[in-house]
Structure 1
Amino acid sequence: MSPIRSASVAALASAVLATTLTGCQFGEEQQDTSPIVIAADLELSGAAAPIGKAYQRALDLKVEQLNSSGALGGRKIELKVKDNRSDASESLRNINDFSNDSHVSAIIMGGCNECAVGAARTIVDKRIPTIALASASGITEPVAERRYVFKLAPNAADSAATLTNELTRRGIRKVAVLNSADTYGQEGLSALRNQFARTGIKLLRAESVRTTDTDVSSQVGALVGRKPDALVVWTPPEQASLAAANAQQAKFTGSLFFDASAAGDLFLGGSARSVERATLVFTQTMVIDDVIATTPAKAARRQWFQDYTARFGSYNGYSSFAADAVQLIADAELRAGGAAGKVDREAVRDVLETSQLDGLSGPIRMTPDNHSGLMPQALTTLVARGGRWRLSG
């Protein structure tokens, strides 16, 4: 090889090496390693603390799993949590604080219906994407006035339809209803009335209780006194347990049905005897250990069930909604693009609005016309048997 050709080859090799190194260094400089900051406004004290703490455990576990998975590239999720004390005014203060933090990509709100409905206007004014884990339809409707607000919990209309189908299947014709006096409870009663009118089921009587009540005996007594074939309880878990105990004490021999809002821990603990054989409308993930994992989605749900149980000793049905909220926000942040280290809330909102996910809770689909993502087919019927919830049938 001539000296000139040899020098040319050497020069070319040096140029290629320099270009390669420069490209690597450029790529490293451009890789976004900024944290994905997700804020959470939860009920960690006050009347709704049991569910709020379950959400916090789920958020911590899901964030840990995503951060260690490598799925976020060079980024990690940073979770900022504030206690709203189960109070809508405190929740609104938290939302304002989170909104004013330019590092926060999105907010997750807990199960407090009044908190989420009350904060909706502020969320829109502040233009911060928010996923609520509460159920009331007023959280996301009307959609034109809730552009930045989404929710994942079961819808009252879907829960009422599933529950009524089960009542009809079992030939139950006379029903009494105990509902919570909050937004979701009132919405549930209305949805049940509509379903009953279509199917010929007679509503004998309805009574309401506050979500802070520790005594529901008078309401249950009035309902059981009408001798219904079934008592439908549409309240949070604490009041549902009290209602079941009161119904048993009143010698109620009919069937007991719970809406999804009554869900909580897999194992029923002290309420096991009074709840035995009761029916609950909820997601299959609560009892995924009863289900053969025939699809990747079911396998993922079973793994979540096992991971949560191994970490915390028992499974809570609502934990999957919190985990799905984290996944949706993380996916939206990654897909939103934009400059490294800069939060683009508008882009995150746009991605959330068209998100589709075979979530841990079930199929989730967001659209510009529907910000309530959990699909009706995610709901099924469970039965209390042997001190825990089981898949019905």
Structure 2
Amino acid sequence: MTTSLQRRRYLQYGLQGLLGLGTLSSADWLQAQERRAIVLGQSAPLTGPASQLGLQMQAGAKLFFDALNSSGGVGGLPVVLRTMDDGYEPERCKANTEKFINDEVFALFGYVGTPTSLAALPLVNQHKIPFFAPLTGAQSLRDPFSRWVFHLRASYFDETALIVNQLTQLGLKRISVFHQNDAYGQAGLSGVQRALKTQNLDPLAVATVERNSVDVAKAVKALVQGQHPDGIVMVSAYKSCAAFIREARKAGYGGVFYNVSFVGTQALSDELGKDAAGVVVSQVVPYPMGQATGVVAEYQAALQKAGGDGKPNYTAMEGYLAAKVFTEGLRRMGAKPSRESLVNALEGMRDFNAGGFRVKFTPQDHVGSNFVELSMLTGDGRVKR
């Protein structure tokens, strides 16, 4: 008879994720009771206006974990990624996180977005569960410091500092900001203001768009008509940014558009088509296209082996890289895996070379990288560095 403890282990070790969604025979089910897996919970937008960010982040991580499991996993344990859709809405993300915690997943991995990650953060700290590589650069998830939160990517402060530096070096000092009206947008705006302040400048004008909305008419009017900025820094997701760019150009704007990485580079390019030409996006992971070495070559090879019509993109590259670094932490845990031993292992990664992308964690600093560079979109669907 299945005991309560067995049922808890069934949930903890992700039986369904391990064996697939097909019907299990009695023999398979009994054998599965003896199996274990390292189960990770991911809340991300799989539907809605930000869905490409979640789908690509999930796809990149899955590429790595699938290859890892085919070669024996970590210490004989497969790593199972359970992803739940939150539609890029904080309350749904909170509910997903509560379910993951009740199901006793080992860690939370690859959440997508600032407002959603912030909704999960109190639960992370309360239940002391590792929260690894959220797709956000917001300072509010880094300060105050949490022992349970690990960031792979550079911050929005890093990204906006590079953007403002390039604009001002080009003599473009009339800079406006278009941002999402939530914690993510505020984080980007704060970064721009912070970078401009070092040069005794302020944003020329600021306008917002609601999360999961493409209602940009008021923002276009506020930023373009009568203001004539040299450049507009954009801090939103791909659909709203694409809508703003199209409408701003229709209104006669001829300046430059700069986006932070969370916009979703490939998704923005797909949305804009030929109108993508000249749009700049800051990046926090290596260029995933073209001839490559190291972790980028590994990612490209895994993508090719998987088949299908998937093409290299930055968000999936981030998911793949996050899975690789997380797995290194698992390997360093020792013979008795636990959440505490995972945190200790990650904090011991003082100089991990993940194939040309260096990661450094310490007990006092859980931001693994400050890597940032700029890319430019073309009108034929390419991305140039």
For Structure 1 versus Structure 2, the TM-score category normalised by the shorter chain is 0.7 to 0.9
Equivalent positions of 1:65-144 (< 5 A) are 65-70=67-72, 72-102=74-104, 104-131=105-132, 132-143=134-145
Q: Deviations over 1:160-182 (max 9, x none)?
A: 11101211232212111111111
The more displaced of 85-94 and 153-162 is 85-94
Q: Which residue of 1 aligns with 2:319?
A: 322
Match of 2:362 among 357, 367, 380: 367
SS of 2:266's partner is: coil
Corresponding residue for 1:332?
A: 329
Supply the AA of the counterpart residue of 1:379: V
Task: Please tell me the residue identity of whatever aligns with 1:351.
Answer: A
- Partner residue of 1:353? 347
Q: Does 1:159 align with 2:159?
A: yes
Q: Is the 8 A contact 1:160 1:192 kept in 2?
A: yes
Tell me the alpha carbon deviations over residues 44-87 of structure 1, each in whole angstroms, 9 at most, x when there is no partner: 23443221122222232221111124563533222222222333
In structure 2, C-alpha distance between the alignment counterparts of 1:352 and 1:72, rounded to whole Å: 15
The match for 1:60 is: 62
What SS does the corresponding residue of 1:204 show, helix, strand or coil? coil
- Cα offset for 1:249? 0.4
Is 2:46–2:54's contact at 8 Å kept on the other side of the alignment? yes
Q: Judge conservation of contact 1:240–1:262 (CA < 8 Å) in 2.
A: yes
SS in 1 for 2:205: strand
**Alignment root-mean-square deviation, CA:** 2.6
CA distance in 1 between counterparts of 2:359 and 2:169 reads 27
Letter in 1 for 2:43: D
Cα distance change, pair 165–328 in 1 and its aligned pair in 2 (3 A)? same
Q: Determine which structure has more spread, i.e. the larger CA radius of gyration.
A: 1
- CA distance 1:85–1:384, shift in 2 (3 Å): closer
Q: What residue number does 2:381 align with?
A: 388
- 2:224–2:251 CA contact under 8 A, matched in 1: yes
Contact 2:264/2:315, CA 8 A, preserved across alignment: yes
Q: Tell me the distance in 1 between the aligned counterparts of 2:149 and 2:106.
A: 13
Deviation by residue 1:291-333 (Cα, 9 ceiling, x = unmatched): x54x53454355456567x544333321122223322332222
Distance 1:85 1:93 in 2: 12
Task: Measure, in 2, the Cα distance between the counterparts of 1:85 and 1:47.
Answer: 8
> Which has the larger displacement, 380-389 or 155-164?
380-389
Bigger shift: 173-182 or 35-44? 35-44
Q: Which has the higher helix share?
A: 1
TM value normalised by structure 2: 0.82
**Other-structure match for 2:171:** 171
Partner Cα distance (2:70, 2:148) in 1: 29
Distance (Å, rounded) in 2 between the aligned partners of 1:300 and 1:386: 28
Q: Deviations over 1:140-160 (max 9, x none)?
A: 3211xx211223344111001
Q: Which residue of the partner structure matches residue 51 of structure 2?
A: 49
Letter in 1 for 2:330: E
User: Is the CA contact 1:216–1:239 (under 8 Å) kept in the aligned structure 2?
Assistant: yes
CA distance in 1, matches of 2:355, 2:239: 25
- How many residues are paired up? 349
Structure-to-structure mapping, 1:264-283, within 5 angstroms:
264-265=265-266, 268-283=269-284
Q: Distance in 1 between matches of 2:213 and 2:203?
A: 24
Q: What amino acid maps onto 1:48 in structure 2?
A: A
Q: Which moved more, 1:122-131 or 1:346-355?
A: 346-355
- 1:209-248 Cα shifts (integer Å, max 9, x gaps): 1122222022122211201111221211111111110111
Q: Give the structure 1 partner of residue 5 of structure 2.
A: none
Instruction: Tell me, in whole angstroms, the C-alpha distance in 2 between the residues paired with 1:69 and 1:267.
Output: 35
* 1:123, distance to aligned residue in structure 2 (A): 0.9
Instruction: Work out whether 1:218 is the aligned partner of 2:197.
Output: no
What residue number does 2:3 align with? none
* More deviation, 87-96/235-244: 87-96
CA–CA separation in structure 1 for the residues paired with 2:184 and 2:356: 20
- Relative to structure 1, is the Cα distance of residues 191 and 86 closer, same or farther in structure 2, using a 3 angstrom cutoff? closer
Q: Give the C-alpha shift of residue 201 in structure 1.
A: 4.7
**Which amino acid letter does the alignment assign opposite residue 320 of structure 1?**
M
Cα gap change, 1:34 to 1:50, in 2 (>3 Å): same
Q: What letter is aligned with 2:272?
A: S
Q: Aligned pair in 2 of structure 1 residues 270, 38: CA closer, same or farther (>3 Å)?
A: closer
**TM-score normalized by structure 1?**
0.80
1:379 aligns with 2:376: no
Structure 2 residue identity aligned to 1:383? M
What is the letter of the counterpart of residue 282 of structure 1?
A: Q
Helix, strand or coil: the match of 1:277?
Answer: coil
**Unaligned stretches of 5+ residues in structure 1:** 1-31
Give the corresponding residue for 1:185.
185
Partners of 1:120 and 1:233 lie apart in 2 by 25
Secondary structure at the residue paired with 1:382?
strand
